[in-house]
Amino acid sequence: MRLEIKDLRVHYGKIEAIKGVSVVVNEGEIVTLIGANGAGKTTILKTISGLRPVSSGSISFDGQDLNKIPAHERVDLGISQVPEGRGIFAGMTVLENLEMGKFNRKDRKNEMAEDLDRVYTLFPRLKERTSQAGGTLSGGEQQMLAMGRALMARPKVLLLDEPSMGLAPQMIANIFRIITEINKQGVTILLVEQNAQQALQRAHRAYILETGNVTKEAKASDLLNDPAVREAYLGVGAH
């Protein structure tokens, strides 16, 4: 498994949001994209999952060019996304949300039960709430549901968009612990975060994104100790 973005450009109308970005995610890694609001993090994820069209450049997955594959077929290739703001189906129950996770499922009995089991083991809280409407869950539970739903498709790579957004510190720590656990189960992770501290602690490698450009690529642990990064993204350093 290898996700490779080469010289990607994406436009919103005439505005170029992504200006030639190259990112590589290797099997088994946690790679994080960090950067300020509007740097283009979410756009990159949306382009990988096919929700935004590519202007130029390429995205390949397992050596296959994704450009011509429509969004709804990418989940079957093994790319699952947890969208920004979680994207829970508020009117569906927790179970119905999870069932939606892989819509084009062929084996609806055994395989589904297996996947549900796996999700409930990772997120016992969801099991207690199976018949509750998705919209009535707390923010943290919704994040768990969104991640669980993505895992239902047995992704090879999981794209996470701001999983810590709007959560209490304790819940953030919990979510990041689970992200590491999912990764240990063999799922490659591309993580977009504003919470650079947590992201860099959990990731293997990191890219720093500024207004549509990658300005730095390094091992996450190196960036944690980089004075410039510490000042710009971790809120510590010379003031």
Partner 1 sequence: MSALRNFNLRDKGAEIWAGWNRPVRTVFVITFVLLVGLLPFAPSWGPTSFLNTPITSFENVLVYPVGMFVLMALGLNIVVGKSGLLDLGYIAFFAIGAYSQAILSTLYGWNTWQALPVGMGLAMISGVILGLPALRVRGDYLAIITLGFGEIIRIVALNLSVTGGPNGIAGIPNPPTIFGFEFNLMFPEHFFWLVLAMILLTIWMIRRFTVRRPGRAWEAIRQDEDVAALMGVNTLIYKLWSFVIGAAIGGAAGVVYASKVMVISPDMFKFEVSILILACVVFGGMGNIWGVALGASILAYLPERIRFIADERQIIFGLVLIIMMNLRPDGLLPRKKREKIEEKRTM
Q: Which residues bind partner 1 (CB under 8 A)?
A: 49-51, 70-73, 75-76, 80-81, 83, 87, 89-93, 96, 99-104, 133-136, 149, 153
Q: How far is the CB of 28 from partner 1 (least distance, A)?
A: 23
Nearer to partner 1, 92 or 165 (CB): 92
Nearer to partner 1, 151 or 223 (CB): 151
d(CA 34, CA 215) in angstroms, rounded, equals 11
162: left (phi over 0), alpha (psi -120 to 50) or beta: left
Q: How far is the CB of 194 from partner 1 (least distance, A)?
A: 21
d(CA 163, CA 46) in angstroms, rounded, equals 15
Q: How far is the CB of 233 from partner 1 (least distance, A)?
A: 28
Give the CA radius of gyration of the chain. 18
Q: How far is the CB of 100 from partner 1 (least distance, A)?
A: 5
Q: How far is the CB of 91 from partner 1 (least distance, A)?
A: 4
| Structure tokens given for 168 | 């209490």
Q: How far is the CB of 90 from partner 1 (least distance, A)?
A: 4
Whose CA is closest to 142, among 121, 126, 154, 157?
Answer: 126
Nearer to partner 1, 26 or 136 (CB): 136
User: 6 to each of 56, 81, 117, 136, how far by Cα in Å?
Assistant: 9, 20, 37, 41
C-alpha dihedral sign at 36, 39, 32, 177: positive
Cβ contacts of 234 within 8 Å, gap of 6 or more: 196, 197, 200, 224
Cβ contacts of 103 within 8 Å, gap of 6 or more: 72, 75
d(CA 128, CA 170) in angstroms, rounded, equals 20
Nearer to partner 1, 142 or 197 (CB): 142
Nearer to partner 1, 20 or 87 (CB): 87
Nearer to partner 1, 48 or 224 (CB): 48
